[in-house]
Every structure is written in C-alpha cells, then in structure tokens.
Amino acid sequence: MSALTLPALGLAARTAQALPTLFTDLASRTPPAEVVQIDTTGHSVPGKGAARYICDALCDEALLAAHPRFVTRTANNRIFRLLPDRSSLAVEQGGAAGGGTVNDQPAIQAAIDYAHAIEAAEVRFEASSYRLDCPPRLSPAEDKRAEDGHPLVVRRSIALRGHDAQRTVLDFRALDGEDPESEYQLVPTSDSDPALAVWRGGGLYLQGDIANPGPGQRTIGRLEIDRLVFRGNRQHTGAYEWPADAQTGDGWDITDKALWVQDCFVGEIICRDTDMVGWKGEILFTAGEADAVERIELQNCRFATSNGSALNPGVDAEILAIDSSFGDCFQAQEDVAKSRAVYRNCTWHDCDAMGLGSGSTNGVLYAQAYPTRDETGAPPMTLLENCEFRDIRSLRFASWVRGSIRTVDCSISLNGGEALALRDTDLTIESWLDRKTGIHALEFYGVDTLTEPMPGAPVGIYKLPPSHVRIRLSHHRTRHAAEQGNQWLGCFWTGYLDRSCELHISGETAGGGVPNGGATPISMPRIHYAAAEPTSNFWARGWYKLPQITGSGEILPCAPRMTVEMASGIIADMTLARTPIGGADHGYVDGQRIRLVKEGATGAIRFTKGASNSFGVRETRVLDNPYDWIEFSYNRDWQRWEEEAFFSDA
C-alpha cells in the first residue's frame, strides 16, 4: 500500500462515520470532532422517525440521562441530540410505532418531555393511530399534583398535532392495554383514608404553575391540540353517582378526565378539529382559582359520551367555541359563571341537565351562583349565536346570557332560586317539539320569599328576584310531533319576579295553554302572547281558566288570556286587582293587555262603570253569553285597568 493510499482510507473512514444511519446505531459510531451533525434514516427501523442530530452546547450528561430516546452517546464519547425541524419533532423519532398494536405511551410522553427540555414548539403524530396504556398509579387518588397514573402529562407550552391524512386517534387503554371500562386500578383514596378508589387516569393532565406567576408569565402559556381524537373507550352507562363504585367501576369516575387542569395556573388551551369521546368523568375539566385558566378556544370539536360532564370549564376563563358539540353524558356542560364566553354554531345534546351563565366566580361576595360584576367595566356576557340544545331534560340559563338559540325536546328553566339574583338575560328561542310531549318550553321561577338568606352572606342579605330578563320564545312542532299528537304545555312563571322581566310567547300552544302564573301569582312580568289573534268567534283551547266565580269580588290577572265561568245564574259584579300579591314592584307593567272570555251560558259577569278605581270602562260591560269577552290594558301611573275592547252578542 502506498503512502498516498493511507490518507485516502482515513478520509473514507471519517466520512463513513458521518453517513446516515439508524438512531439506535449511533452509539457504535465514532464521528470525528469536526462532524457536529448526523442524519438518521429512522429511530429503530428505516423510514420511521428519521431525524437530524446535533452535537452542541445543550448536549450534556443531564440531557442524556433524562432523554435517552432523543439523546445518545457515540462510541468515542460524544453526545448528540435530536434537532427539531422548525421547532417540531415527531413521536416516531422517540420510537413510537403507531398503528395501535403496541403501547406507545412511553414514547409519546418522552417526546413531550424532550420538547419541553429543549423548548420545541410542536410534537407531531404522523400515524393514523397510537395505543396508550395507562401507567401504574402508586399515589393516592386524591393527590392532585402526583403525575403517576396519568397517560400524558404536559408541563410547558406545546402544540400536539395530528399529521395523518385524517385526524390521528390516540387510543387510551387501561394497564397492559386492557379494556378501561372493566379493567381499572384500585388505589388508596388519600394518605389519611386507606379506602380503595377507582383509578382510570384520564387522558392528558396539565401540570401548570402551582402559584400564579401573573398573566402572560405562565409556564404553560399555550397548549394547542389539533387534529386529534382522544378515544377513551369508556361507555355512557347512565350511572351518575360519584366517585365510581370500587366493585363495579361504574358511575361518575372523577379520576377519568380527558383533559385535566386542576389547582394550577395555565394560559390558553386551544383545541381545533379534535374529538374527545368515551370517558367516565369530565371530558374537558378546569378547576381552581377563578383566574386559573386565561382562555379556552374550541373549533370544530366534539366532546361526547361520559357518565360525567362533557364540558366543565369551572373557572373564569374567556371562552370561544365555534362549530362544536357536547353531549351524550350526564351534563353536556357544567359551568360556573364567566366574564366572557362566546358560542357560535354549537350544539349541546342528549343529556340529563346543563346550565350556562355569566358573572364573577370563586366565592366572590357570597356564593358562586350569586352573580356579581365590576360595574366600572363591561358587563359579563355569555353569547349564544345560532346554537342548538337537543333532548336535554333540564336546561338552565342564569345571568348575563344573551343571543339566539334553537331547542328540540327541551324544557328551559330560568330559576331565581338557583341563580340567587338572576339578571340581564336576553334570549330569542325557537323551541321545537319532536318526540316528547307534555313539556313546558319555558319555566320561569322567581324566589319564594323576599327574605330568604343568601348562603354564606352576612345577616340581612337575601336572594333577589330575577330582574331585566327578556325572553322571546316561539313554539313549533315537527311533522312527526304533529302526526303523533305531541303538544306543548304552556309556559309559566312562579314566585317573586321583578316587573322589568318580559316574556314574548308565540306559536303552536293550542293544546297546552297560554303563559300563566297560576291561580294566585305573586308577580306578573310583562307578557305578550302572540298566538292567533282572538276574535268574537274565536275560542282558544288552553286559555288559562280562572277559579270558578261564585259571587261578586276581585279577579287577579294571571295570564294574557283567561276564561271565567260562573257557578250559578247570578250576576257577579267584579273588579280587577291593581297589583299582584307581591306588590307593585312585581307587576303589573304599563301597557300589559289581558283578555277575559266568559265560558258557558250560566250567569253573567259585570264590570260597572265607576264602581271601582281598579278599572275603567266606557260604559257598564256585561259578559252574558258564551264567548263574550272584554280586553283591558294596564295604566301603571294610575294603577288601573282600562278597557281596550269589548264584544258581546247579547
């Protein structure tokens, strides 16, 4: 061999040390000092997890020890680490196989951990699916800061993004890939309570800052979840007791949340084109201080199928949800009040109950349900734009909710006894009846008394009647409902309501009655009933029927359309109540119109001109024959009912 050949062979050998290889083969390489970058053809098999590795100042013993799936030591004692591509790395580069046949949880968590360590912005999922087995839980169930037993943990800002042609499925299983519906771990409830509790572990757990570092300073400043499906493989069984039963595993498993944020501080949570389906507890859950989460954004997301709640943003985070749906669970949404929440083209469906409302949270003043605001700033707001609520047994709205909605087979409840000081709600509602019958499209509850103590408040602070609530509701029936004879019941109100409240009701209520406050209403908000306009020969089935009149006395107006019937053939001289039982603050409103129609031929009802300052008629009016009627409007200045129209064929 000539002297010239030796340098050439040496150069060739040095060049070979820098050629692409598998990551698992890098440990046997001896790259020379001038080689600081090596490409690989894959992690452990060619074509899967190819990457570029670099030897730089970050490559130290600590990084190697913490992230062996992404950092390696060569045969000549040099350390190389994976170099993200434009701040992005793939789980395959940490050894994830994809396809759902093996447990990829360790590789995926390792990718997240490595991204955190080098401050990479994105973790990619390039396969169509991945299996994630729940790791063992050794800590007690109630140790909220323990990370063991959670399939995925995020500690810093990051984006988790599916890159398959369709959305990538993260298939969450129990230990060793078992069915999480029937196979679950049993762990001590707490350090002080050795009783065993069910542990399923949920999906993604956020370990945010324990102490609030201030707005814009949070370690998890932004979490993005894009084009992923969190498939939990749990069933909605209808068992809503919590915690889950340790013998059967059934019930509301509060350890099984698809996205879990509790008692820590994070910034933004953004989910796009993401489904979270099949869990035993809350699907998206945030809890803690009022400002624990700054903002939640959901676009084209579906949260469904749980024994718990689909959406529970239980802190005062700003919310924007667009083209998303929540349902097939116990509560489609479980929420405390919000300063600002906007929902556009969203659907809540197939659940037992749910509620929405705005206002301060976290024990401000007296209770979470007591709506408060900073009157120097903008009012709180929950805005519903073209949203739908379908097949919900109890649908509740509280304060500062406004917008336009459509309901199907739902009964809406405005409840001052639950909201404690319900106010400033303004909704336009298109209510459809389809497969149900005999339900109220709207139930409006005031407070029972004006001296019911506010829970947790100083002596003398009471629940307040709902005020400044405006509802425009139209009744409809689908063709199926009409063919089946399904009918609405009339809307009603009860208890103390402030006279600033308004109900504008229209549509198909022929079989169910007009809006009414019962026989002896404490209050009467402004009621406009725009069903078919009554005429002299019109008889509306379902008008509110007053107690039978047995003699002269006072009629207490309680509905915009009322029928009256005589018990005997006498002529009864009647007056009209000037205020409801609750007094002038609780009705009647200026311009309120009522119509009284006589039912049957027995007896007569007479309003004598000048007989009382509670009403005024142009001349004495007698309702003698069936279907005679008189209409009044209320003059609040004079607290007097004034005749608007009269008909009798006598």
Domain's final residue, options 83, 109, 129: 83
Domain match, 330 and 211 both? yes
| Three-state DSSP string of 86-152 | CCEEEHHHHCCCCCCCCECHHHHHHHHHHHHHHCCCEEEECCCEEEEECCCCCCCCCCCCCCCCCCE
Domain match, 209 and 316 both? yes
pLDDT digit string, tens, across residues 265-278:
999 999 999 999 99
| Bridge pairing between strands 593-599 and 561-565 | parallel
pLDDT digit string, tens, across residues 493-513:
999 999 999 999 998 764 557
Q: Is 416 within a domain?
A: yes
3-class DSSP state of 13: helix
- Joined tokens for residue 491: 């809307």
How far apart (Å, rounded) are the C-alpha atoms in residues 621 and 597?
13
Identify which has the larger pLDDT, 336 or 305.
305
pLDDT, the chain, mean: 92
- Joined tokens for residue 495: 């208890």
Q: Is 62 within a domain?
A: yes
Contacts of 460 (CB under 8 A, 6+ apart): none
Q: How far is CA 116 from CA 89, 219, 266, 267, 292, in A?
A: 11, 10, 15, 16, 21
Contacts of 184 (CB under 8 A, 6+ apart): 174, 198, 199, 200, 244, 249, 253
End-to-end CA distance of the chain: 135
- Is 17 a residue whose pLDDT tops 70? no
Domain match, 69 and 109 both? no
Nearest to 470 by CA among 413, 411, 426, 513: 426
493 by Cβ neighbours in 10 Å (0-12 / 13-18 / 19+) ranks as: buried
Q: Is 240 within a domain?
A: yes
How far apart (Å, rounded) are the C-alpha atoms in residues 393 and 530?
26
Bridge partners, residue 172, by sequence? 132
Give the model's pLDDT for residue 513. Answer: 78
How far apart (Å, rounded) are the C-alpha atoms in residues 344 and 367?
29
Give the model's pLDDT for residue 377. Answer: 82
How far apart (Å, rounded) are the C-alpha atoms in residues 263 and 328?
27
Q: Above pLDDT 70, what percent of the chain?
A: 93
CATH number of 152's domain? 2.160.20
Domain's final residue, options 83, 116, 143: 83
* Whether 395 contacts 407, CB under 8 Å: yes
- What mean pLDDT comes out for the span 186-215? 95
Give the model's pLDDT for residue 459. Answer: 87
Nearest to 429 by CA among 453, 448, 401: 401
pLDDT digit string, tens, across residues 367-418:
556 777 778 888 889 999 999 999 999 999 999 999 999 999 999 999 998 8
Domain match, 297 and 386 both? no
Nearest to 572 by CA among 623, 609, 614: 623
How many CB atoms are closer than 10 A to CB 322? 16
Q: Is 534 within a domain?
A: no
pLDDT digit string, tens, across residues 279-307:
999 999 999 988 899 999 999 999 999 99
**Dihedrals φ, ψ of 388, to 5°?**
-125, 140
Domain match, 498 and 391 both? yes
DSSP code of residue 516? B
Give the model's pLDDT for residue 364. Answer: 47
Domain match, 94 and 19 both? no
pLDDT band at 419 (very low <50, low <70, confident <90, very high): confident
**Dihedrals φ, ψ of 96, to 5°?**
-65, 135
Give the model's pLDDT for residue 537. Answer: 45
- Is 454 a residue whose pLDDT tops 90? no
- Joined tokens for residue 551: 């003699």
3-class DSSP state of 43: coil
How far apart (Å, rounded) are the C-alpha atoms in residues 251 and 181?
11
Give the model's pLDDT for residue 533. Answer: 60
* Whether 524 contacts 588, CB under 8 Å: yes
- Is 5 a residue whose pLDDT tops 60? no
Give the model's pLDDT for residue 370. Answer: 72
Give the model's pLDDT for residue 367. Answer: 57
201-205, 372-376, 560-564: range with lowest mean pLDDT: 372-376
pLDDT digit string, tens, across residues 155-173:
999 999 999 999 999 999 9
Domain match, 22 and 133 both? no
- Is 19 a residue whose pLDDT tops 90? no
> Tokens 């943003």 — which residue?
313
Domain match, 593 and 499 both? no
Give the model's pLDDT for residue 490. Answer: 87
* Whether 471 contacts 504, CB under 8 Å: yes
How many CB atoms are closer than 10 A to CB 647? 17
Give the model's pLDDT for residue 362. Answer: 46
Give the model's pLDDT for residue 541. Answer: 57
Identify which has the larger pLDDT, 257 or 314.
257
For residue 639, what are the domain limits? 544-647
- Is 348 a residue whose pLDDT tops 80? yes
- What mean pLDDT comes out for the span 485-491? 91
Q: Above pLDDT 90, what percent of the chain?
A: 82
Q: Is 158 within a domain?
A: yes
Q: How far is CA 399 from CA 372, 422, 480, 572, in A?
A: 9, 5, 34, 44
pLDDT band at 12 (very low <50, low <70, confident <90, very high): very low
Cα 415 to chain center, whole Å? 18
Sign of CA dihedral 67, 68, 72, 76: positive
> DSSP assignment of 383-433, as one string?
EEEEEEEEEEEEEEE-TTEEEEEEEES--EEEEHHHHSS-EEEEEEEEEEE
pLDDT band at 455 (very low <50, low <70, confident <90, very high): confident
Sign of CA dihedral 372, 374, 376, 377: negative
- Is 516 a residue whose pLDDT tops 90? yes
- What mean pLDDT comes out for the span 582-591? 95
How far apart (Å, rounded) are the C-alpha atoms in residues 329 and 305?
5
Domain match, 387 and 291 both? no
Q: Is 615 within a domain?
A: yes
28 by Cβ neighbours in 10 Å (0-12 / 13-18 / 19+) ranks as: exposed
6-20, 59-73, 193-207, 245-259: range with lowest mean pLDDT: 6-20
Domain match, 358 and 468 both? yes
Whether cis (ω within 30° of 0) applies to the bond prior to 626 is no
Cα 130 to chain center, whole Å? 28
| Bridge pairing between strands 79-83 and 129-133 | unpaired
Calculate the CA dihedral of residues 518, 425, 454, 264 and round it to 10 degrees: 140
* Whether 310 contacts 352, CB under 8 Å: no
How far apart (Å, rounded) are the C-alpha atoms in residues 97 and 128?
11
Q: Please count the structural domains in the chain.
A: 4
The pTM (predicted TM-score) of the whole model is 0.92
How far apart (Å, rounded) are the C-alpha atoms in residues 140 and 192?
10
Domain's final residue, options 37, 66, 83: 83
Domain match, 266 and 377 both? no
Domain match, 167 and 315 both? yes
How far apart (Å, rounded) are the C-alpha atoms in residues 202 and 264?
17
Q: Is 115 within a domain?
A: yes
Q: Is 519 within a domain?
A: no
